[in-house]
Amino acid sequence: MIQEILIQHVQPEKRDEYIQVFGDILKKAGYSGSHGIKFFTSMEDPSRVILMIEWDSVEAHNQHRGTPVHNAMREATSKYQTVKSDGGHYVMHVVK
The domain segmentation of the chain, as residue ranges, is 2-90
Nearest of 76, 89, 64, 81 to residue 1 by alpha carbon: 89
The whole-model pTM stands at 0.90
The CA distance from 25 to 5, in Å, is 17
3-state class (DSSP) for residue 71: helix
The percent of residues in the chain predicted with pLDDT above 90, rounded, is 90
User: Alpha-carbon distance 15 to 45, whole Å?
Assistant: 11
CATH classification of 2-90, choosing from 3.40.30.160, 3.30.70.20, 3.30.70.100, 3.30.390.50? 3.30.70.100
8 sits in which H/E element:
strand 2-10
SS3 assignment, position 89: strand
52-63: per-residue pLDDT in tens?
999 999 999 999
